[in-house]
Chains A and B, each alone.
Chain A
Amino acid sequence: MNQLRQRLQLSIVRLCIIFLAPAFAPSIASATTVIARFGPPSSGGGGTNPISLPPSVLDTEISVVTAAKTEINISIVPGILVGKRFDKDGYYGSGGVGLIINQSGAGVGGYAAIGYETSGTIKFNADFKQALGLSTVGLLTTYALRIGAGYEF
């Protein structure tokens, strides 16, 4: 079991390096958007609880979207996710892989998100993200409906 856990951790680290390196490399000299979103996630124990006021760390998600439309999503739930975004008339869809976290534990898996984002330097953002992961305890499912704002550098 320990060997399996070590291999899983190693795989996650490798996965993060593979996706994070190209995500950051081309974006240094071009427009990158950093988005802060707030909304309560569902962590596998039923529906969501009301959002904390002010929002807690669990309710917060930070997203970085590079000029190449690679997005990196960092939150406790659904987890740390790296993927590709596709824009169309303000709406967007995105999908990718990463570390999925819920009450049952953490595992590797995929996510899909759809959302809406205004244009300009300061952007309004609404995002629904659903994720499915696999861990040693079984299937992990999470989702989060969050709204927030982004700043384009």
Chain B
Amino acid sequence: MTKGKKPLKSFAAIVIASSLLAWAALRPQSAEAVEFRLAGGAVEEGDNRFRPTVGFEFVAPSGLLGAAMVYGRHFGPVTEQTVIFSGGQPLDLFGSTMVQGLFGVSIISERTAIKASDTSVTQTDQSTNVGGLFGIRGKIFTFKAFTIAGSWESHLYPPGFSAIFLATGRKQLLTLNAGMSL
């Protein structure tokens, strides 16, 4: 393969991918369509500090929503990775189909790895928890099968046996998502 053909192939791939996305976005929306969305935003963990998060969402024809959001950070020998899986039922609670309330279930998996510089040993700690999902979602822009939406969600997890006293830990997610019906 010569160097001159690489830009041509990349250009062709971009054109084909863009055409497919445009076709999918512009075709009429079906009532039985499933919807995929890419999401990005910020997560806050109870300390008023927001950090970036990305993920994807899936909306079934019944309206049930599933999502996976990932965030983490790497500083020195420490690597933190968190994945939040959630599923819920949006309800038209605000007198409009453009804004919905959301009730559901959330599963969190947190992994922290520490690798000392003078050894090849890595210590890892993995924890999971199951909790509730509460939030609101709103459609910002809709054009045929293409949608841009926003959400403000709270994922509440009981900290052990204190759940009986209503104690919770929260991951607050503020996200924008864009996707299309397929």
B85 at the interface (CB under 8 A from A): no
Flag if B44 contacts A48 (CB, 8 Å).
no
Give the interface centre of B101, B102, B154 by most chain A CB atoms within 10 Å.
Answer: B101
Flag if A145 contacts B156 (CB, 8 Å).
yes
Minimum C-beta distance from A59 to chain B (A): 9
Interface residues on A, range: 20 to 34
B103 at the interface (CB under 8 A from A): yes
Minimum C-beta distance from A54 to chain B (A): 12
Residues of chain A in range 95-148 having any CB-CB distance to chain B below 8 Å: 95, 102, 104, 112, 114, 128, 130, 132, 138-141, 143, 145-147
A114 to B95, CA, bound (A): 13
A112 to B151, CA, bound (A): 11
Flag if A130 contacts B167 (CB, 8 Å).
no
Minimum C-beta distance from A90 to chain B (A): 11
Interface residues on B, range: 20 to 34
A40 at the interface (CB under 8 A from B): yes
Mark B95-121 against chain A: 1 for CB-CB distance below 8 A, else 0: 100010111000000000000000000
Number of A-B residue pairs with CB-CB distance less than 8 Å in the complex they form: 89
Instruction: For A16, list chain B residues within 8 Å (CB).
Output: none
Flag if B92 contacts A130 (CB, 8 Å).
no
A130 to B134, CA, bound (A): 9
Flag if B46 contacts A86 (CB, 8 Å).
no
Flag if B136 contacts A139 (CB, 8 Å).
no
The verdict on A138 contacting B48 (CB below 8 Å), with A40-B167, A91-B91, A92-B93 known, is yes
The verdict on A128 contacting B154 (CB below 8 Å), with A50-B162, A114-B136 known, is yes
Instruction: For B168, list chain A residues within 8 Å (CB).
Output: 42, 47-48, 145
Flag if B92 contacts A50 (CB, 8 Å).
no
A49 at the interface (CB under 8 A from B): yes
Instruction: For A92, list chain B residues within 8 Å (CB).
Output: 93
| Chain B residues within 8 Å of A, Cβ to Cβ | 44, 46-48, 50, 91-95, 99, 101-103, 134-136, 152, 154, 156, 159, 162, 165-170, 172
With A93-B136, A130-B152, A143-B170 given, name 17 new contacts (CB 8 A).
Answer: A42-B46, A44-B48, A45-B47, A47-B170, A48-B167, A48-B168, A48-B169, A50-B162, A50-B167, A86-B95, A93-B94, A104-B48, A130-B134, A132-B152, A139-B50, A145-B156, A147-B166
Give me 11 A-to-B residue pairs in the complex whose CB atoms sit less than 8 angstroms apart, sorted by A's number: A42-B46, A42-B168, A44-B47, A48-B166, A51-B167, A95-B94, A112-B152, A114-B93, A114-B102, A130-B154, A141-B172
